[in-house]
């Protein structure tokens, strides 16, 4: 398997609880790093953990089934939507 093929399989792999824990560690260290071959910044990792903590158990399973990039998109959009409603 080539490096590009490996990275592609990692990018589409569900993040699972290991991805949530990696996001928590990233937020604690306050430094960007790669999670499942995707560069993750502190803002996105923080958004993922905040949204994950407020979800019901059934929805937590669904968020963990997303690839890390898609989970980041969903979390940021949820937070932006909540900000618009609060304003």
Give pLDDT tens digits for 33-42.
Answer: 998 889 999 9
35 is in which domain, residue-wise?
A: 3-86
Q: Per the structure block, which two tokens stand in for 25?
A: 């560690």
DSSP code, position 67? B
Domain count, the chain: 1
What's the rounded Cα separation, in Å, for the pair 12 and 58? 21
Residues 6+ apart with CB under 8 A from 28: none
Q: pLDDT tens across 35-73, in order?
A: 888 999 999 999 999 999 999 999 999 999 999 999 999
pTM (whole model) above 0.85: yes
Sign of the torsion angle spanned by Cα atoms 33, 41, 51, 73: negative
């Amino acid at each position: 398997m080539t490096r590009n093929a490996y990275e592609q399989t990692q990018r589409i792999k569900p993040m699972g609880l290991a991805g949530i824990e990696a996001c928590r560690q990233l937020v604690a260290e306050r430094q960007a790093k790669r999670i499942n071959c995707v560069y993750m910044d502190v803002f996105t990792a923080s958004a993922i953990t905040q949204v994950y903590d407020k979800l019901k158990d059934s929805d937590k399973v669904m968020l963990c089934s997303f690839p890390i990039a898609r989970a980041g998109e969903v979390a940021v959009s949820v937070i932006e939507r909540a900000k618009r409603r609060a304003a």
